Amino acid sequence: MAFLEINGRSVAYRLLGPEALPLVVLAHPLGMTQAVWDDVIPSLLPRYRVLTWDLPGHGASEAWQQDGGEITPAALAHEALALVDNAGVSRFHFAGTSIGGVVGQHLIAEHAERLYSAILTNTGAVIGNGEMWTTRAGRVRSEGLTAISGDIVPRWFSAERLAAEPALETGWRTQMARTDAESYARLCEMLAVTDFRGQLKGALDNHPGLSVHLLGGSEDMATPPDTLETLARECGGAPLEILEGFAHVPSVEDPQAMAKRLLLWMAAARSDAGERGVAYADGLETRKQVLGEEHVARASAAAASLDAPFQKMITRLAWGELWSNDDLTRRERSMITTGILAALGREELELHLKTAKRIGLSEAELRQVLMHVAIYGGVPAANHAFSLAKKLGWGDGEA
């Protein structure tokens, strides 16, 4: 876990995976922590870099400052964007549950140009009603979170799941009790007045490449299916799936089902773009992620009138159509590319040996790639590649 000071307050976050992979940001529900994504993340890491963080006063994030004023969706989205900027990323995928989905709605409404896709789960343009949230904020301040956790935590999970795993309720009640009460109360007061009706469709119409998917649970009492249906209409008829037998937190109830949908919907966002023809800007972004901004800047600066169109072509085709496609992971593409360049003895081999490190190839994986080159492309080619790799720092890792 790491920490970043944002507007004078320490925010706890995790940034996992190689910088050469596209980023997905995951936002957790009210009263929980970024740990709700723990069992989903391993399925995402082969293809994505993952950023999670704790809301104010939740988990290891510092409480909202007493003189910090009201918490707003804009303030929460600002924290998310600050963490994304700190990771050096311009565009990203986003998935958020409950209040995390509220953050996602603000990003759609005000920062759609930053998003590849938005997956909103168990949330709504309006969640509950103002009186309910104001009453809860008052109870938190007067009774404390430990006292009210028994009313709230059981609503997060289906009755069947709680019966099968009684410790689930105990564990999350304990975690909820550790949350800063005043931060929680202010977030309740935020939800009391949050209403995204009429704010989303226009933003999506202006950004037709932004993919939005919605997910809910048939047993969810906090954001029941009709709440998700209303949100789907607000998002211009965005696809909605209701999971039968699930309640409010699918990332905890069935992490594999959640991961499967995230992978499918995030890949679809890029595949749809591929069917239309990948834009130069999308290919350029992938090229920067994989090769590094400094290299791309040098290559662009060195382009003359003769080869500038060629640079644009390879950016669209190699980096847009191929490297941006999710049918293979970037790790797999790196191994394929390195093997081909080594076998052919091309000068770009040095660049892609460096890229292999950015992507996270292990020494053992590179060794196997080059040994394949020896068998199928020739020992001299593999010998040259091994020698070049050692000059670039390979060989100091595991045996």
Domains within the chain, CATH numbers bracketed: 2-275 (3.40.50.1820), 279-391 (1.20.1290.10)
Whole-angstrom Cα distance, residue 344 to residue 234? 53
Q: What contacts 212, CB < 8 A, 6 or more positions away? A: 108, 117, 118, 119, 120, 204, 235, 238, 239
Q: Look up residue 229 and give its DSSP letter.
A: H
- Type of residue at 120: L
Which pairs count as long-range contacts for 17-20, CB under 8 Å and 24+ apart, including other chains?
A: 17/45, 17/48, 17/49, 17/50, 17/360, 18/49, 18/330, 18/358, 18/359, 18/360, 19/49, 19/87, 19/88, 19/289, 19/358, 20/289, 20/290, 20/330, 20/355, 20/358, 20/359, 20/360
pLDDT of residue 399: 43
The alpha helices in the chain, defined as continuous H runs, are: 41-44, 73-86, 99-111, 130-143, 145-152, 159-164, 166-177, 181-193, 201-206, 225-234, 250-253, 255-276, 280-291, 293-302, 308-314, 330-344, 349-359, 363-377, 379-391
| Beta-ladder partners of 215 | 121, 241
Q: Look up residue 242 and give its DSSP letter.
A: E
pLDDT of residue 274: 46
pLDDT of residue 277: 62
The alpha helices in 10-155, defined as continuous H runs, are: 41-44, 73-86, 99-111, 130-143, 145-152
pLDDT of residue 285: 87
The two structure tokens encoding residue 362? 């292990």
pLDDT of residue 103: 98
Give the CA distances from residue 306 to residues 93, 234, 295, 296, in Å, rounded to whole numbers and listed in that order. Answer: 36, 48, 20, 18
Q: Going residue by residue through the chain, which has 399 residues, state the pLDDT in tens, using 9 for 90 and above.
A: 999 999 999 999 999 999 999 999 999 999 999 999 999 999 999 999 999 999 999 999 999 988 878 999 999 999 999 999 999 999 999 999 999 999 999 999 999 999 999 999 999 999 999 999 999 999 999 999 999 999 999 999 999 999 999 999 999 999 999 999 999 999 999 999 999 999 999 999 999 989 999 999 999 999 999 999 999 999 999 999 999 999 999 999 999 999 999 999 998 876 554 455 667 888 898 999 999 888 888 988 888 889 889 988 999 999 989 998 888 999 999 999 999 999 999 999 999 999 999 999 999 999 999 999 999 999 999 999 999 999 999 987 554
pLDDT of residue 270: 64
Q: Are 213 and 119 in contact (CB under 8 A)?
A: yes
Q: Are 64 and 57 in contact (CB under 8 A)?
A: yes
Residue with tokens 């990323």: 89
Give the CA distances from residue 78 to residues 71, 103, 110, 348, in Å, rounded to whole numbers and listed in that order. Answer: 11, 9, 11, 40
Element (H, E) at 213: strand 211-217
Whole-angstrom Cα distance, residue 121 to residue 102? 10
Whole-angstrom Cα distance, residue 126 to residue 133? 12
Pick the closest to residue 107 from 133, 75, 130 (CA basis). Answer: 75
pLDDT of residue 397: 59
Other beta carbons within 10 angstroms of residue 163's beta carbon come to 9
Pick the closest to residue 245 from 171, 183, 311, 159 (CA basis). Answer: 159
